[in-house]
């Protein structure tokens, strides 16, 4: 049974938000008058959002009703949520040097890992191309289709947002403004994982985990080309993240052994380059914390109204797959096709992913007698101390590393991280109001190197989603048709049917209804 309410989670977010607001106010008071003018515009162009979602399933909630939804989901067969949000985008004021953005999206849920939901709570201070962002914010995947892709392997959209402070260039910045053939973007930040729902309610006694671990991520992306001059554009980049620090519990061989993994300044520095070691490593020191990342590459061609893209996402744990020492045999390879505008197909995505190699099946720490070091058996998304690459029970990267909540055995480890998969995504918009999305995924898993499955386990997951977007109504007067403000403007309703079949996550069938509305509070 999952913990229904975590007062520590809610109070931590509120305290962090108040501190961030006070800090931002102090900083703004020290800034030039142009920056202070941004405060007077902060009440303009503010949007509100309302959202209600309900899922009902046989056995468990099917995979595509809970994956890649920024953690706003559950594997429970009966679940739902209600959210209220207020948002202002900093980029709204493109004519100004200094801009302010913010967002708050709060609600309640049932069948989730917590009853209160702090989905988003953040503030942005924008200066020219740069942005200082503080808080929990939903951020899109880079260089992939966010609606049709199976997900990024490092920084995905599958888990609940992490509270963090980061400096970023969020949009492509043309280094050579005149020619616009070279552009960059990226970020650098620190945060903290807030989930404690599994303690005393989900984990078996003696299972290792780290409470309140710190989070560091950085990424840089480069774009070469300008489609108006040449029909091929090349994009690529590096995503690198680390979990470090925190309070370790049951990490050693002695149950109940608790100690700090380190919060000192040097821990923050070592997280940048993957240095140091953990106390649990003993004489065989590895990089401190849980370090991982991805190399990304995307090539896009524009031909006769068609857009054709090929992309790759190569994942690495620690340093063994960072460079070519062990060979790159694991990757996510994708193709995306966007045809000329038509009422049938808007975009089509195919992806193949393989994670079977993981640098090889042999691991050996150097000793005095055998000095050779073999850093294989990477054990993707798992760690010998940390709870793994997940937040609030959901993988932070690609959801095809099926969440530990599906195993329901009181541990937080990913059981089937050695797998191959085929994924297809398709969407279309037959009319201005109606749209659809179809997802299909097939996976074949061998378990892990340490705990292989007796037989390979296969899984098939489908999703059919149909959505309706209301628009302004029109009325006839004596002279012409005129648009009138309608209560239904901004309403969006989506209905999804999903099915799982196979040995990996079982036989699940479910439906989901989502009703939402967005509109302007101020102009």
- The tens digit of pLDDT for each residue in 267-282 reads 899 888 876 555 555 5
- In this prediction, residue 492 carries a pLDDT of 96
Range in 41-50, 80-89, 234-243, 401-410 the model is least confident about: 401-410
Cα dihedral across residues 501, 505, 511, 516: positive or negative: negative
Distance CA 101, CA 133 (A): 9
- Check residue 1 and give its pLDDT: 35
Which residue spans within 390-490 are E strands per DSSP?
390-391, 394-395, 419-428, 434-447, 452-469, 473-476, 481-484
Closest C-alpha to 442, from 456, 427, 432: 456
Residue 12 has pLDDT above 80, yes or no: no
Maximum mean pLDDT: which of 238-247, 280-289, 322-331, 408-417: 238-247
Separation between Cα atoms, residue 18 and residue 134, nearest integer Å = 11
Could you tell me what percent of the chain has a pLDDT over 90? Answer: 59
Question: For position 142, what pLDDT does the model report?
Answer: 97
Categorize the per-residue pLDDT at 206 as very low, low, confident or very high, splitting at 50, 70 and 90: confident
pLDDT in tens, 90-122: 876 677 888 999 999 999 999 998 899 999 999
- CB 508, CB 500: distance < 8 Å: yes
Q: How far apart are CA 202 and CA 198, in angstroms?
A: 5
Cβ atoms 354, 329 nearer than 8 A: yes
Most confident range, picked from 42-51, 144-153, 365-374: 144-153
- How far, rounded to the nearest angstrom, does the alpha carbon of residue 103 sit from its chain's CA centroid? 18
The answer to whether 387 and 396 are in contact (CB under 8 A) is: no
Q: How confident is the model at residue 478 (pLDDT cuts 50, 70, 90)?
A: very low
pLDDT cut 70: percent of the chain above it: 83
Query: String of b and e for 280-319 (b: at least 16 CB within 10 Å)?
Result: beeeeebbbbbbbbbbbbbebebeeeebbbebbbbbbbbb
- Chain-centroid distance of CA 223 in Å reads 22
Choose between 409 and 479: higher pLDDT: 409
pLDDT at 226 over 80: yes
183 burial level (CB within 10 Å; 0-12, 13-18, 19+): buried
Residues 6 or more apart whose Cβ sits within 8 Å of residue 4:
114, 115
**CA-to-CA distance for 204 and 208, rounded, in angstroms?**
9
CA distance readout (Å), 142 to 118, 335, 338: 24, 15, 17
Residue 171 has pLDDT above 90, yes or no: yes
The pLDDT value recorded for residue 387 is 82
- Give the CATH H-level superfamily of domain 7-522: Capsule assembly protein Wzi (2.40.160.130)
Whether the predicted pLDDT of 19 surpasses 70: no
Dig out the tokens for 267 from the structure.
């821990």
Q: Pick 404 or 58 by higher pLDDT.
A: 58
In three-state secondary structure terms, 493 is strand
Strand 374-375 versus strand 363-364 pairing type: antiparallel
**Per-residue confidence at 247, pLDDT binned at 50, 70, 90?**
confident
Q: How many CA atoms lie within 13 A of 146 on its CB side?
A: 11
Which are the contacts of 408, defined by CB distance < 8 A and separation ≥ 6? none
458-471: pLDDT as tens digits: 999 999 999 999 87
> Tokens 């292989």, residue?
452
Section 52-56 average pLDDT: 97
pLDDT-derived band at 475 (thresholds 50, 70, 90) equals very low
Q: What mean pLDDT is predicted for residues 479-488?
A: 53
CA dist list (Å): 146 to 150, 151, 232, 425: 9, 8, 22, 11
129 vs 284, which has greater pLDDT? 129
Whole-angstrom Cα distance, residue 434 to residue 386? 44
* Confidence bin at 472 (pLDDT 50/70/90): low
Question: Is pLDDT at 54 greater than 50 in this prediction?
Answer: yes
Instruction: Report whether 500 contacts 506 (CB < 8 A).
Output: yes
What is the tens place of the pLDDT at every residue in 327-356?
899 999 999 999 999 989 999 999 999 999
Question: Residue 29's pLDDT is what?
Answer: 64
CA 27 to chain centre: 29
Tally Cβ neighbours within 10 Å of residue 220: 15
User: What tens digit of pLDDT does each residue of 386-444 get?
Assistant: 888 999 989 999 999 998 888 777 788 899 999 999 999 999 999 999 999 999 999 99
**pLDDT score at 394:** 93
Beta bridge partners of 166: 133, 189
pLDDT bracket for residue 481 (50, 70, 90)? very low
Edge to edge, the sheet with strand 247-249 lists 209-211, 247-249, 258-260
Cα end-to-end distance, the chain, whole Å: 46
Q: What is the pLDDT of residue 258?
A: 72
């Amino acid at each position: 049974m999952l913990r229904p309410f975590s007062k520590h989670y809610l109070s931590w977010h509120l305290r962090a938000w108040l501190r961030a607001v006070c800090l931002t106010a102090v900083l703004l008071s020290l800034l030039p008058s142009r920056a202070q003018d941004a405060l007077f515009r902060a009440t303009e162009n503010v949007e509100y959002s309302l959202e209600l979602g309900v899922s009902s399933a046989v056995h468990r909630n099917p995979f595509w009703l809970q994956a890649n939804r920024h953690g706003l989901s559950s594997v429970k067969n009966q679940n739902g949520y209600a959210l209220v949000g207020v948002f202002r985008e900093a980029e709204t004021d493109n004519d100004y040097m200094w801009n302010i953005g913010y967002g708050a999206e709060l609600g309640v849920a049932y069948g989730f890992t917590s009853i209160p939901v702090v989905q988003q709570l953040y503030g942005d201070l924008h200066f020219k191309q740069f942005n200082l962002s503080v808080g929990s914010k939903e951020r899109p995947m880079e260089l992939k289709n966010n609606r049709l892709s199976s997900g990024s392997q490092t920084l995905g959209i599958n888990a609940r947002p992490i509270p963090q402070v980061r400096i970023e260039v969020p949009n492509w910045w043309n280094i050579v403004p005149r020619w616009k053939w070279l552009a960059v973007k990226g970020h650098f930040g620190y945060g903290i994982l807030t989930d404690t729902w599994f303690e005393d309610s989900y984990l078996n006694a003696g299972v290792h985990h780290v409470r309140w671990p710190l989070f560091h991520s950085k990424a840089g992306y480069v774009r070469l080309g300008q489609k108006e001059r040449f029909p091929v554009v090349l994009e690529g980049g590096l995503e690198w993240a680390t979990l470090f620090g925190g309070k370790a519990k049951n990490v050693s061989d002695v149950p109940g052994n608790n100690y700090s993994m380190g919060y000192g300044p040097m821990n923050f520095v070592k997280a940048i380059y993957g240095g140091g070691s953990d106390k649990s490593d003993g004489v065989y020191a590895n990089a401190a914390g849980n370090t991982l990342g991805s190399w990304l590459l995307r090539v896009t061609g524009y031909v006769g109204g068609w857009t054709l893209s090929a992309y790759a996402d190569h994942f690495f744990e620690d340093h063994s797959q960072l460079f070519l020492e062990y060979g790159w045999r694991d990757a996510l390879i994708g193709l995306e096709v966007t045809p000329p505008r038509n009422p049938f197909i808007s975009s089509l995505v195919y992806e193949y992913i393989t994670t079977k190699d993981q640098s090889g099946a042999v691991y050996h720490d150097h000793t005095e007698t055998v000095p050779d070091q073999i850093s294989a058996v990477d054990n993707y998304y798992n760690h010998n101390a940390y709870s793994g690459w997940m937040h609030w029970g959901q993988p932070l990267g690609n959801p095809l590393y099926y969440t530990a909540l599906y195993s329901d055995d009181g541990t937080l480890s990913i059981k089937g991280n050695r797998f191959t998969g085929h994924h297809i995504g398709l969407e279309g918009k037959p009319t201005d109001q109606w749209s659809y999305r179809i997802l299909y995924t097939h996976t074949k898993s061998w378990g892990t190197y340490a705990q292989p499955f007796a037989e390979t386990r296969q899984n098939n997951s489908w999703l059919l989603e149909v959505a309706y977007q209301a628009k302004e109504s029109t009325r006839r007067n004596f002279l012409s048709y005129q648009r009138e403000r309608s209560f239904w403007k901004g309403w969006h309703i989506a209905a999804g049917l999903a099915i799982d079949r196979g040995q990996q996550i079982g036989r699940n069938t479910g439906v989901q209804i989502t009703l939402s509305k967005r509109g302007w509070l101020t102009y």
